Chains A and B, each alone.
Chain A
Amino acid sequence: EVQLLESGGGLVQPGGSLRLSCAVSGFTFTTYAMSWVRQAPGKGLEWVSSMSANGRSTFYADSVKGRFTISRDSSKNTLYLQMNSLRAEDTAVYYCACLVIAVPINYWGPGTLVTVSS
């Protein structure tokens, strides 16, 4: 059974940092790209960042470029999102996901809430 489980969310002050983790089990972690998607309270889904299957390429939404860094530890089957210089508008539930529409591959974690507030 495929499982993705996020952790590391919480309350952080504006300008602060937080690192999210996503533990993956039940499928080969390095077969497909892995991504982070977020959803602000009462708002729609927003793609945040992806890492290619081979781990050599990373991609970011303009809204987080230069502040967030995606990485992974293949030995631990874990994906990370380092979030720096956090802003109030980064408040959201952050989902770890593996999405390949054509196959289809559609794996999501339950999400972890990040709240940026003083």
Chain B
Amino acid sequence: AIQVTQSPSSLSASVGDRVTITCRASQDIRSDLGWYQQKPGKAPKLLIYAASSLQSGVPPRFSGSGSGTDFTLSISSLQPEDFATYYCLQDYNYPLYTFGQGTKVEIK
């Protein structure tokens, strides 16, 4: 099974900061990776698909990069509504999936 390692598990940042979260897959997964934002009590929201494509309606301060085994989610200027937990998800072996462990973004 494909493993995905996400880091960091949590981070503290201020409004306006640039934030970077990474995911590393245990094998080459091409660009079959998405990034999700989850707020308490809600289903996850898709931000980035196919590693670097911005989902419709998502602010352009969110961006994704990478392919193969190493991927990055960046938030260029953190806004108050961005404090949440972020997950990566791979579906290289669709419909078998692996989520990253999650990164909780907290207010500094």
Which chain A residues have a beta carbon within 8 Å of chain B's beta carbons?
A: 33, 35, 37, 44-47, 50-52, 59, 62, 95, 97, 99-104, 106, 108-111
Contact = CB atoms under 8 A, between A and B. Distances in A.
Interface string B72-108: 0000000000000001011100111111111000000
A101 B91 contact: yes
A44 B99 contact: yes
B49 A50 contact: no
A44 B53 CA distance: 24
**Interface size band for B:** 20 to 34
A102 B89 CA distance: 12
A104 B84 CA distance: 22
B44 A59 contact: no
Given A33-B94, A33-B95, A46-B99, A102 B46 contact: no
Interface of B: 1, 31-34, 36, 38, 43-44, 46, 49-50, 53, 55, 87, 89-91, 94-102
Given A44-B101, A101-B34, A108 B44 contact: yes
A102 to B, nearest CB: 5
B87 A45 contact: yes
Contacts of A110: 43
A100 B93 CA distance: 11
